[in-house]
C-alpha cells in the first residue's frame, strides 16, 4: 500500500476482534487505491502478556510521529494497577474531540464527545470503604469541543448540548460555555438533560442532528445510539486533536466473538473512510462509504445484523462494490 513520499499511518490492530476488523479495513483501503506507509504497532493485552507492558514510551513516540492512527480495539489486562491505554493515548496526543456519526436509512446524527476530561480525568482516590473520581470541566475544554461541534452543526441543522446541570454543578460551566460558542457562531442550538436525551434517542431519534456532550455521557449515549442504528459493529469514530488524529470503530474488542470470523467489519471500514477524508482524499472516502452501503443493501450482513455472512464475506462484498463506484 506504500507510495513514494507517502503519508505514514500507524496501525494498532490490538486484541480480540481488533485484528479481524483492521484486516478488513486495510483490504478496503487497498481496494480504494489508498497509498501510504503502514507502521504496525503492537499495543494492548497480547503485548502486556508477552512483556508486562501494554504500551511503551517508544510506541507512544511512534504514534506521535505518524500522520494519523488506524486503531482496532484493545482488551484491558487483568491488572488492578493497569490504566487504560486508549485513555492514555487520547490524553498524550490531546485527542480532545471524539466525533461519532450515526447513519441508517432514516437517521443521520453525530455525537461529539469531549474526550480528555469529565469523569475520565484519571483523578481518582481509591479506598477500601470509599472511592472518589474527580469530574473535571474546564472553560478551555468546553470551548474547544463546542467549537468542533459548531463547525459540524454550521454545515447541518442544529446543535443540542447534552448535560446534567440541574444536579452536576460542573455542567453549568459546560452548558454556559457551549451556549456562548454557538451564539457567537450563529449556530442554532438547544439543550437537553442527559436522561431525557437517553430516552429521546430511543423514542424520537430524528429530533437530533449534532449532539455535544461530556466524556462519560458521550461514551454511554454512543453505545445507545449504535443500538438504535442497528449494531455497535456499524459505527465509526474519529478522535481529533490539533496535531494528531486516531480513527477507530466505536466497539470494543468483543472477546465473546473474537476468532470466530463473524465480527462486523463495517465500523472499522467506515473509520478508515473517515481517515481518508481527514487525509484529504474525500473521493476515496465517498467511494468506500458508498460501497459499504451497497454491500449492506445487497445482504452482506454479519450475524449482529441478522445475516449469516462472515467478516471475510462482507469485506469481499465491499471491495467488489468499490469497482462500481
Chain residues in the site for ligand ATP (CB under 6 A): 17, 21, 73, 75-76, 232-233, 251-257, 263-264, 267, 302, 304
Name the packing angle between helices 266-278 and 18-31 (round to 10°): 50
Catalytic residue check, 171: no
Helix then strand count (H, E) for the chain reads 11, 12
CA dihedral of 160, 143, 88, 250, whole degrees rounded to 10: 20
Catalytic site residue from 30, 79, 190, 223: 223
Catalytic site residue from 15, 59, 120, 191: 120
Question: Which C-beta is closer to ligand ATP: that of 184 or that of 255?
Answer: 255
Buried b (16+ CB within 10 A) or exposed e, 89-103: bbbbbebbbbbbbbb
Question: Shortest CA distance to 254 belongs to which of 266, 242, 262, 246?
Answer: 262
Question: Which C-beta is closer to ligand ATP: that of 115 or that of 142?
Answer: 115
Q: Which residue is nearest to ligand ATP (CB)?
A: 252
Q: What angle do CA 29, 246, 181 make, to 5 degrees?
A: 125
Catalytic site residue from 148, 164, 284, 301: 164
Question: Which C-beta is closer to ligand ATP: that of 187 or that of 234?
Answer: 234
Phi, psi of 62 (to 5 degrees): -60, -45
Least distance from ligand ATP to the Cβ atom of residue 3, Å: 30
Least distance from ligand ATP to the Cβ atom of residue 72, Å: 10
Catalytic residue check, 195: yes
Catalytic site residue from 59, 171, 191, 219: 219
Catalytic residue check, 219: yes
Least distance from ligand ATP to the Cβ atom of residue 170, Å: 26
Least distance from ligand ATP to the Cβ atom of residue 278, Å: 22
User: What is the spatial distance between Cα 285 and Cα 18, in angstroms, rounded to a whole number?
Assistant: 21
Catalytic site residue from 30, 79, 190, 195: 195
Question: Which C-beta is closer to ligand ATP: that of 77 or that of 205?
Answer: 77
Question: Which C-beta is closer to ligand ATP: that of 173 or that of 216?
Answer: 216
Catalytic residue check, 94: no
Close Cβ partners of 149 (under 8 Å, ≥ 6 residues apart): 112, 159, 178, 210, 211, 212
Q: Which residue in this structure is represented by grid cell 431525557?
A: 196
Question: Which C-beta is closer to ligand ATP: that of 76 or that of 277?
Answer: 76
49 burial class (0-12, 13-18, 19+ CB within 10 angstroms)? Answer: exposed
Long-range contacts of 86-91 (CB under 8 A, 24+ apart): 87/120, 87/122, 88/55, 88/60, 89/55, 89/60, 89/63, 89/246, 90/115, 90/116, 90/239, 90/246, 91/116, 91/122
Catalytic residue check, 223: yes
Catalytic residues: 120, 164, 195, 219, 223
Amino acid at each position: 500500500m506504500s507510495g513514494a513520499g507517502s503519508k505514514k499511518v500507524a496501525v494498532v490492530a490490538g486484541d480480540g476482534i481488533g485484528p479481524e476488523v483492521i484486516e478488513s479495513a486495510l483490504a478496503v483501503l487497498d481496494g480504494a487505491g489508498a497509498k501510504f506507509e503502514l507502521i504496525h504497532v503492537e499495543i494492548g493485552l497480547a503485548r502486556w502478556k508477552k512483556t508486562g507492558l501494554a504500551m511503551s514510551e517508544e510506541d507512544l513516540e511512534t504514534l506521535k510521529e505518524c500522520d494519523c492512527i488506524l486503531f482496532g480495539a484493545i482488551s484491558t489486562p487483568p491488572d488492578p494497577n493497569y490504566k487504560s491505554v486508549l485513555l492514555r493515548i487520547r490524553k498524550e496526543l490531546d485527542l480532545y474531540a471524539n466525533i461519532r456519526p450515526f447513519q441508517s436509512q432514516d437517521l443521520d446524527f453525530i455525537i461529539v464527545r469531549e474526550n480528555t476530561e469529565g469523569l475520565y480525568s484519571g483523578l481518582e482516590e481509591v479506598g477500601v470503604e470509599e472511592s472518589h473520581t474527580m469530574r473535571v470541566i474546564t472553560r478551555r475544554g468546553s470551548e474547544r469541543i463546542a467549537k468542533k461541534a459548531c463547525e459540524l452543526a454550521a454545515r447541518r441543522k442544529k446543535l443540542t448540548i447534552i448535560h446534567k446541570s440541574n444536579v452536576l454543578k460542573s455542567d453549568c460551566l459546560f452548558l454556559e460555555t457551549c451556549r456562548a460558542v454557538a451564539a457567537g457562531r450563529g449556530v442554532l442550538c438547544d439543550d437537553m438533560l442527559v436522561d431525557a436525551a437517553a430516552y429521546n434517542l430511543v423514542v424520537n431519534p430524528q429530533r437530533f442532528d449534532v449532539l455535544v456532550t461530556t466524556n462519560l455521557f458521550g461514551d454511554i449515549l454512543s453505545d445507545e445510539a449504535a443500538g438504535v442504528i442497528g449494531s455497535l459493529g456499524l459505527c465509526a469514530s474519529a478522535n481529533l486533536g490539533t496535531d494528531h488524529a486516531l480513527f477507530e470503530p466505536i466497539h470494543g474488542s468483543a472477546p465473546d466473538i473474537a476468532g470466530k470470523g463473524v465480527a462486523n467489519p463495517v465500523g472499522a471500514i467506515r473509520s478508515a473512510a473517515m481517515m481518508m477524508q481527514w487525509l484529504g482524499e474525500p473521493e476515496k472516502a465517498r467511494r468506500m462509504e458508498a460501497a459499504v452501503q451497497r454491500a449492506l443493501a445487497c445482504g452482506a450482513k454479519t450475524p449482529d445484523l441478522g445475516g449469516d455472512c462472515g467478516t471475510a464475506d462482507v469485506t469481499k462484498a465491499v471491495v467488489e462494490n468499490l469497482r462500481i463506484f
